[in-house]
């Protein structure tokens, strides 16, 4: 596997780019207290809507807050949010998918109809509805994203579990009298986990976009907390006078999504070589 | 009333005679008895996915296997041999019929008891690649039945796994390796070690050598033979050609399109086959001498009919050279022709 990892990294420029972007952003997220030049919450009223300069690298917003520092802190929040929400949704979705695919029959029918119901809503509407019910704060955004994303995991993992179920070793385990739970844990899960990791990486970018969308729509909770979507929202009214506010935040989101998607492709090539040839 | 019932001693099904199968005649030590096994797979079709027909994979098969013998099951691909094997083990539910293991009806057993019984009836699979989980070490694979039944854990499990690996001709150190590091023959040995883990009484060998090279086939067959003597095993040996089954079987059942057409002791079947289909199978055995003159070969015409639409009357009549009008309309039953022989044919026996 490590041989395939090095080969993928050597051969594919996109794989190196994706890994590079994610590593750099991860470093920014981990070192934001030292990297930020200003306090992201401090309002300096006389420095409102200042263009990028030596003092304010990416300019200031309408309250005189430093956009660079807000974006640096926002990286940390976006990453935490992306990892937590996709992590939770991958656990829920993988469990649903394994149970559904392994048992089949009426269990499969029930689980998949629930999944169909959740997926028939436009994702952003469903997330908005959940946040609106639970109340706008970051924790509830994580819950909303986790709930709206888990059906996607359930779908993909179910299809993989369906094929794993037909493998001879599953039949052999049943013939040995191994319990269903144990078969799912020891045989099905290890054989679907690589697909789950690939999907997880791809979904982190989407989750970050989703958080930005919710924050932009004003469902992000405390406006003082710097999130990327919140910064875009802050600059919304000043797109002509101060395009740097929304602009740089938008660039941050775009680069992050591209980074995670490229990394996801690379991980797929390493873990799941079956798919790379088809696509 | 119910209180009285609950307090009265429940007859122990393990005691001989308490729940024995119908043909438990004295003098015959029957380990496994299958009675009129049927397995139909529904075919779904149409807009509403309604059942539009069935595949009659196994259609009324009865046989019994005595303790210590090897019962060979032979037939072309698609005749239902493997389905029959899986049904006997309770791995696919039967549509109809009963299976008695040591006199106990396994289809009526509660799930927990059935799980315990799985240790006594094991299976060796055809595909030595798909039947071993690629993400488990050999030690984990062979030890899995032990942990599933709480038979051994920790150091005792490790010891037992090593012992099993030596029994099947592998090295104890192989326990830490993964299946992909082994050849087909070695993988089949791993599968055999797993089947032996819980000291089974019966092993269903589902074409255990048909995926292997000819040179390896005889090694595995010899190993199975040695293990049978060593552990007093009973085999149901499934194969698609008679040449493999000839040397290992005491009795042979020939299957065609989901039915048994002939059952006979191995030697008698080879000396004097009764059913025309058995004759055809016998003449299909390759002869290793290229100069040998083969006379009176029976070469079958056409293909096996679809098990979804089996022919009327005798299922073999579409390919049988001897077929008469009676064969086309009336279905022959498997009837006894000798002490140990039976055949399903209007014209023979």
Mean pLDDT over the full length of chain B:
87
Provide Rg for chain B, Cα atoms: 22
Structural domains present in chain A: 2-26+66-276 (1.10.3720.10)
Task: Flag whether pLDDT at B250 surpasses 70.
Answer: yes
Judge: A175–B136 Cβ closer than 8 Å, yes or no: no
Task: Flag whether pLDDT at B19 surpasses 60.
Answer: no
Judge: B145–A178 Cβ closer than 8 Å, yes or no: yes
Other beta carbons less than 10 A from residue A239's beta carbon: 12
pLDDT tens for B131-160 read 999 989 999 999 999 999 988 888 999 999
Helix axes A189-216, A243-271, angle to 10 degrees: 170
- Separation CA A164–CA B130 (nearest Å): 10
Residue A94 and residue A153 in contact, taking contact as beta carbons nearer than 8 Å:
yes
Question: Which pTM does this prediction carry?
Answer: 0.83
Nearest CA in chain A to B195: A176
Q: Which long-range contacts (CB under 8 A, 24 or more apart) does B221-230 make?
A: B221/B247, B221/B248, B223/B168, B223/B169, B223/B189, B223/B192, B224/B192, B224/B248, B227/B167, B227/B168, B227/B192, B227/B196, B228/B68, B228/B70, B230/B167
| Burial (0-12, 13-18, 19+ Cβ within 10 Å), B25 | exposed
Q: What is the pLDDT of residue B244?
A: 83
CB within 8 Å of A208: residues ≥ 6 apart: A78, A79, A81, A82, A228, A253, A256, A257, A260
- Separation CA B24–CA B66 (nearest Å): 10
Q: What is the pLDDT of residue A272?
A: 65
Return the half-sphere exposure (C-beta side, CA atoms, 13 A cut-off) of residue A237: 6
- Separation CA B202–CA B67 (nearest Å): 8
Residue B288 and residue B334 in contact, taking contact as beta carbons nearer than 8 Å:
no
Judge: A178–B130 Cβ closer than 8 Å, yes or no: no
| Burial (0-12, 13-18, 19+ Cβ within 10 Å), B305 | middle
Q: Residue A177: which of B86, B127, B148 has the nearest Cβ?
A: B148
Q: Looking at CA atoms only, how far is residue A83 from chain B in angstroms?
A: 27
pLDDT tens for A69-94 read 999 999 999 999 999 999 999 999 99
Judge: B149–A172 Cβ closer than 8 Å, yes or no: no
Strands B70-74, B234-239: pairing kind: parallel
Surface of B (141-170) touching A: CB under 8 A: 141, 144-145, 148-149
Q: Residue B194: which of A172, A187, A190 has the nearest Cβ?
A: A172
Judge: B133–A179 Cβ closer than 8 Å, yes or no: no
Q: What is the pLDDT of residue A275?
A: 54
Q: Residue B119: which of A172, A173, A177 has the nearest Cβ?
A: A177
Q: How confident is the model at residue B2 (pLDDT cuts 50, 70, 90)?
A: very low
Other beta carbons less than 10 A from residue B290's beta carbon: 5
Judge: A169–B148 Cβ closer than 8 Å, yes or no: no
Mean pLDDT over the full length of chain A:
90
Q: A interface toward B at CB cutoff 8 Å?
A: 167-169, 171-179, 182, 186-187, 190-191
Please give the DSSP secondary-structure letter assigned to residue B348: -
Judge: B145–A187 Cβ closer than 8 Å, yes or no: no
Q: Looking at CA atoms only, how far is residue A172 from chain B in angstroms?
A: 6
- Separation CA A216–CA A227 (nearest Å): 9
Q: Looking at CA atoms only, how far is residue B62 from chain A in angstroms?
A: 22
Provide Rg for chain A, Cα atoms: 22
Helix axes A228-235, A243-271, angle to 10 degrees: 150
Collect all residues of chain A within an 8 Å Cβ-Cβ radius of residue B118. Answer: 175-177
């Amino acid at each position: 596997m490590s041989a395939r990892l090095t080969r993928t990294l050597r051969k594919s420029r996109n794989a190196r780019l994706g890994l590079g972007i994610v590593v750099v952003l991860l470093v920014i997220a981990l070192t934001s207290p030292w990297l930020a030049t200003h306090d992201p919450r401090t309002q300096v009223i006389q420095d409102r809507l200042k263009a990028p300069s030596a003092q304010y690298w990416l300019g200031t917003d309408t309250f005189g807050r430093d956009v660079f520092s807000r974006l640096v802190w926002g990286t940390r929040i976006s990453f935490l949010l992306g990892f937590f929400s996709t992590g939770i949704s991958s656990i829920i979705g993988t469990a649903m998918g394994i149970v559904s695919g392994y048992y089949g029959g009426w269990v499969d029918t029930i689980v998949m109809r629930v999944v169909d119901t959740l997926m028939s809503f436009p994702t952003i509407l469903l997330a908005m509805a959940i946040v609106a019910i639970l109340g706008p704060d970051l924790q509830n955004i994580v819950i909303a994203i986790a709930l709206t994303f888990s059906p996607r995991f359930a779908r993909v993992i179910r299809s993989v579990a369906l094929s794993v179920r037909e493998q001879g070793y599953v039949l052999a385990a049943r013939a040995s009298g191994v319990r269903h739970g144990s078969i799912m844990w020891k045989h099905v899960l290890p054989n679907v986990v690589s697909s789950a990791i690939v999907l997880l990486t791809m979904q982190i970018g989407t989750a970050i976009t989703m958080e930005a969308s919710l924050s932009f729509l004003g469902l992000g909770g405390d406006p003082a907390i710097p999130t990327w979507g919140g910064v875009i929202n802050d600059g919304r009214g000043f797109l002509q006078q101060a395009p740097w506010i929304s602009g740089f935040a938008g660039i941050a989101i775009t680069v992050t999504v591209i980074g995670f998607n490229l990394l996801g492709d690379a991980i797929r090539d390493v873990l799941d070589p079956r798919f790379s040839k088809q696509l | 009333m119910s209180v009285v019932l609950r307090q009265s001693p429940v007859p122990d099904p393990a005691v001989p005679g308490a729940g024995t199968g119908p043909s438990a005649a004295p003098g015959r030590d029957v380990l496994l008895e299958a009675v009129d096994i049927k397995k139909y797979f529904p075919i779904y079709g149409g807009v509403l996915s309604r059942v539009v027909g069935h595949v009659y994979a196994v259609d009324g098969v009865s046989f019994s296997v005595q303790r210590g013998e090897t019962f060979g099951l032979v037939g072309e691909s698609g005749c239902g041999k493997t389905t029959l094997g899986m049904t006997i083990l309770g791995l696919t539910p039967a549509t109809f019929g009963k299976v008695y293991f040591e006199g106990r009806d396994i289809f009526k057993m509660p799930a927990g008891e059935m799980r315990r019984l799985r240790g006594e009836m094991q299976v060796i699979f055809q595909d030595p690649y798909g039947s071993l989980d690629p993400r488990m070490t050999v030690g984990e694979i062979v030890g899995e039945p032990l942990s599933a039944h709480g038979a051994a854990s920790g150091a005792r499990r490790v010891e037992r796994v090593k012992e099993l690996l030596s029994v099947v001709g592998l090295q104890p150190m192989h326990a830490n390796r993964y299946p992909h590091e082994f050849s087909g023959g070695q993988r089949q040995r791993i599968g055999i070690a797993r089947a032996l883990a819980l000291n089974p009484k019966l092993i269903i060998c589902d074409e255990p050598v048909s995926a292997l090279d000819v040179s390896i086939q005889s090694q595995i067959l010899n190993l199975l033979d040695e293990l049978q003597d060593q552990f007093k095993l009973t085999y149901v040996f499934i194969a698609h050609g008679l040449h493999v089954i000839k040397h290992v079987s005491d009795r042979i059942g020939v299957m065609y399109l989901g039915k048994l057409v002939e059952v006979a002791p191995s030697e008698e079947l080879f000396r004097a086959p009764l059913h025309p289909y058995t004759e055809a199978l016998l003449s299909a055995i390759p002869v290793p001498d290229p100069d040998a003159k083969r006379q009176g070969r029976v070469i079958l015409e056409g293909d096996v009919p679809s098990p979804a639409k089996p022919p009327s009357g005798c299922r073999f009549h579409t390919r049988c050279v001897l077929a008469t009008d009676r064969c086309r309309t009336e279905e022959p039953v498997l009837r006894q022709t000798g002490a140990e022989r039976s055949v399903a044919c209007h014209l023979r026996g």
